[in-house]
Chains A and B, each alone.
Chain A
Amino acid sequence: QKEVEQDPGPLSVPEGAIVSLNCTYSNSAFQYFMWYRQYSRKGPELLMYTYSSGNKEDGRFTAQVDKSSKYISLFIRDSQPSDSATYLCAMSEWGILTGGGNKLTFGTGTQLKVEL
């Protein structure tokens, strides 16, 4: 079983729809949660990061973390064709005392297509 599970999609939605993307994880040591967007043949681009349970909002994007359920979500409001990309969740252990830093464990990514 992978440490991070993510539905690969593809997910196709009409322009303007609300998109919900999700990941589950099994490692309780994960403390730091991120969402990256990756366009085809490009490197991942950081969208959101958080290190506490609850919601964090940035423009049209909301990241939600539920550590008790080991479940994270990314919501995209008013989706646009330019949002069409692969969305990767990523996680890391905080590693404060061990200096482990932010080595990331990624999900497989969900491919999203927003259609006109």
Chain B
Amino acid sequence: DTGVSQDPRHKITKRGQNVTFRCDPISEHNRLYWYRQTLGQGPEFLTYFQNEAQLEKSRLLSDRFSAERPKGSFSTLEIQRTEQGDSAMYLCASSHRQGVRNTEAFFGQGTRLTVV
């Protein structure tokens, strides 16, 4: 297991286009998180899944953003009608919850989005 994998690593898109990112968590991790990180800032929480259920969404996640984890394994994050303000690093993390305990979260390398 090589850790959390994200694809693509870099994406340049024109304003108004739709983009989709993929995240493959560490196998057997049942929790998956999406964060956004802009230059000079720490990551900001967007949403998280436990298995296939999306349990929480940040108010940062506008209607143009949608995330799915259809089979409780990989996840996709789609941004519709991209805006220049969407330019950021999109980070995926995974952890495992068993009973009342969570493991720590492990992050992928991120997908860097540039909207031109």
Query: Which chain A residues have a beta carbon within 8 Å of chain B's beta carbons?
Result: 4, 6, 8, 34, 36, 41-46, 49, 88, 90, 96, 99-109
Residues of A within 8 A of B55 (CB): 99, 101
Closest to A42 in B: B109
B22 on interface, CB distance cutoff 8 Å: no
Instruction: Choose among B40, B43, B50 the residue that contacts A101 (Cβ–Cβ < 8 A).
Output: B50
- Bound-complex Cα distance A101 to B55 (A): 10
Residues of B within 8 A of A41 (CB): 89, 110, 112
Query: Which chain B residues have a beta carbon within 8 Å of chain A's beta carbons?
Result: 4, 6, 31, 33, 35, 40-45, 48, 50, 55-56, 89, 91, 93, 95, 97, 100, 102, 104-110, 112
- Bound-complex Cα distance A108 to B44 (A): 10
Residues of B within 8 A of A99 (CB): 50, 55, 97
Least CB distance from A110 to B in Å reads: 10
Instruction: Choose among B4, B35, B40, B104 the residue that contacts A49 (Cβ–Cβ < 8 A).
Output: B104
User: Known contacts A43-B91, A43-B107, A44-B91: does B48 contact A8 (CB below 8 Å)?
Assistant: no
Residues of A within 8 A of B108 (CB): 43
B40 contacts A104, CB within 8 Å? no
Closest to A106 in B: B42
Some 27 contacts from A to B, beta carbons below 8 A apart, are A4-B42, A8-B40, A34-B104, A41-B89, A42-B109, A43-B4, A43-B6, A44-B43, A44-B107, A45-B107, A88-B42, A99-B55, A101-B55, A101-B95, A102-B31, A102-B95, A102-B104, A103-B45, A103-B48, A104-B33, A104-B35, A104-B93, A105-B45, A106-B43, A106-B44, A107-B42, A109-B40
